[in-house]
Amino acid sequence: MRAWAIVVPRGRAEEIRRTLQSQGLLLKHLRIGHEDATILLPVRKRVEIGFPAKEAEFDEGFVAVRSYKDVIEVPPAMRRSLPSSFDVVGDIAVIKIPEELREHRRAIGEAIRRWNPRIGVVLEDRGVKGERRIREIDVIAGERRTTTTHTEHGLRYRVDLSQAYFSPRLASERKRIADLIEEGETVADPFAGVGPYSILISKFRRPRDVHASDANPTAVELLRENVATNRADRVTVHEGDARAVLRQVAPVDRIILDLPHSAMEFLADAFQALGTHGTVHLYGILEAAEEGEKREKIESAARAAGVRVKNLSLRHVRAYSPAKYHTVFDVTVARA
Q: Is residue 91 a contact residue for ligand SAM (CB under 6 A)? A: no
In this structure, how many other beta carbons lie within 10 angstroms of the beta carbon of residue 86?
Answer: 18
- Out of 42, 90, 142, 190, name the contact with ligand SAM by CB under 6 A: 190
* Binding-residue total with ligand SAM (CB under 6 A): 21
Nearer to ligand SAM, 39 or 267 (CB): 267
DSSP 193-244: TTSHHHHHHHHHS--SEEEEEES-HHHHHHHHHHHHHTT-TTEEEEES-HHH
Nearer to ligand SAM, 74 or 192 (CB): 192
Q: Is residue 258 a contact residue for ligand SAM (CB under 6 A)? A: yes
Amino acid identity for residue 56 in this structure:
A
Amino acid identity for residue 153 in this structure:
H
Q: Which stretch binds ligand SAM (CB under 6 A): 106-114, 164-172, 180-188, 316-324?
A: 164-172
Q: Is residue 90 a contact residue for ligand SAM (CB under 6 A)? A: no
Nearer to ligand SAM, 241 or 291 (CB): 241
Q: Residues 59-62: contacts with CB within 8 Å, 24+ apart?
A: 59/30, 59/31, 59/33, 60/1, 60/29, 60/30, 60/31, 61/29, 62/31
Nearer to ligand SAM, 96 or 129 (CB): 129
Cis before residue 251, ω within 30 degrees of 0?
A: yes
HSE-up of 162 (CA within 13 Å, CB side)? 12
Amino acid identity for residue 308 in this structure:
R
Helical (H) or strand (E) element with 160: strand 155-160
Q: Is residue 176 a contact residue for ligand SAM (CB under 6 A)? A: no
What is the contact mask toward ligand SAM in residues 206 to 245, using x (rule: CB under 6 A)?
--------xxx--x---------------------xx---
Q: Is residue 112 a contact residue for ligand SAM (CB under 6 A)? A: no
Q: Least Å distance between CB 264 and ligand SAM? A: 13
Q: Which stretches of the chain bind ligand SAM, using CB under 6 A?
A: 131-133, 164-166, 170, 190-193, 196-197, 214-216, 219, 241-242, 258-259
